[in-house]
Amino acid sequence: MLRKNIIKTKMKEIRESLKLIEDNLPEKPEKFATMGLIKDGISRGLNFASKMPSTRVP
């Protein structure tokens, strides 16, 4: 049961992260290239969302 809750929590965090990225991603790649710290945040959000949760229970 604990493992299921951990996975559900991770899935919720991934959905929230992807929604935040989607809401802030510019329409043109040229604009994205000049976004500086915002670009870094989007990249980190994508990196976070792409990582699979560990299914091992500590």
Report pTM. 0.59
Higher pLDDT, 7 or 54: 7
Is 58 a residue whose pLDDT tops 60? Answer: no
Whole-number Å distance between alpha carbons of 43 and 10: 18
Whole-number Å distance between alpha carbons of 20 and 45: 8
Torsion region of 14: left, alpha or beta (phi above 0 gives left; psi -120 to 50 gives alpha)? alpha
Which tens digits make up the pLDDT trace of 24-42? Answer: 788 888 887 787 777 787 7
Q: Say if residues 45 and 14 touch (Cβ distance below 8 Å).
A: no
Nearest to 32 by CA among 19, 42, 20, 18: 42
